[in-house]
Amino acid sequence: MEKVAIIGAGGWGTALAILFSRKFAVALCEKFPEYADFLDKTRENRDFLPGFKIPESVKITSDAASALKSSSYVMLAVPSRYFRATLKEIADCARGKKVIIATKGLEEGTGKRMSEVLAEECQSAFCAALSGPTIAREIASGKPAAAVVASSDISFAREIQGFFSSENLRLYASDDIVGVEMAGAGKNVVAIGAGVVDGLDLGNNAKAAYLTRGIVENVNFGIRIGAKEKTYWGLAGLGDLLTTSFSKFSRNRSYGEALARGEGEKFLAGTKMVVEGIYAVKVIKEMADALNVDMPITNAVYRIVYEQSNPRDEIRRLMARSLKDE
């Protein structure tokens, strides 16, 4: 049986371990030894994915070297802000492995995609990015889902597609790793705003219009940095945006809803999960400003998150922008 190592035992990493344990021998690596022991004994990730049993067949460890030693494939499911540090710790063990990036985010400070960080820290790794509408709780429960796996080497993307597809997860292959990674980061920004729309009870018309203009904005930005437009109309773009903007389990949407109530800080204090959109909006705004790309929705979300702008004022500002052709 093929062996797969999953680095990162948050909700997403745990869901992947549960899913793939039905097909492979899985090692789930949790950074902190105490929590790894807790997961091993209780077989439930109460902090990040409560209510789901981690199969006994999943090896839970805090020793990354042990998890990686006999695994042909490595899945990285750590938050973007810890991605580089994690790679530095496992780089020697990961060289030569086939790596699938399951992190949706951008590196704060550099604006680099996770595959770019991987290339810098672990040069010899085969690399693909996994993205799409994949809420962790639904994946863990075995509900059907589809996602896209992208690599600059399409043959490698197709290898991952064939290897990891199952009756519960249908994978599509792509060679547009730039688009898949950027769509995965950008949708988190738009989802924060979708939560604001929900929190202000602005209705379905407003939310539909907001999401439509949000994805157009992301498409325009993506094209400028080398992504393919069609990627944004697929699973990594439109598909993931819809899930993240509507699911009650979406951290980014829920955070936006809390912002609309004036409870953003309270929300963050009450969760151990990372809201990736907080970091992505800053990076994308900086990149868009440098490239002179007009991104009014991104700018509005940025002002709400970082400048404590009143959400209702930002809605009025968006509605009052100069009229234009679609």
Q: Are 122 and 99 in contact (CB under 8 A)?
A: yes
Closest CA to 160 of 115, 118, 98: 98
Give burial (CB, 10 Å; 0-12/13-18/19+) of 238: buried
Q: Are 243 and 250 in contact (CB under 8 A)?
A: yes
Q: Cα separation of 214 and 298, whole Å?
A: 8
Catalytic residue among 187, 207, 285, 324: 187
Closest CA to 29 of 72, 83, 78: 78
Q: Cα separation of 75 and 17, whole Å?
A: 10
Q: Are 105 and 80 in contact (CB under 8 A)?
A: yes
Instruction: Compute the Cα dihedral for 232, 236, 242, 248 and give only its sign.
Output: negative
Give the H or E element holding residue 36. Answer: helix 33-42
Q: Mark whether 187 is an active-site residue.
A: yes
- Residues in CB range of 18: below 8 A, 6 or more apart: 52, 53, 54, 55, 58, 139, 140
Q: Cα separation of 285 and 52, whole Å?
A: 37
Which structure tokens are listed for 196? 């604001």
Q: Cα separation of 266 and 62, whole Å?
A: 31
Which structure tokens are listed for 252? 């980014």
Q: Cα separation of 308 and 171, whole Å?
A: 40
Q: Catalytic site residues?
A: 187
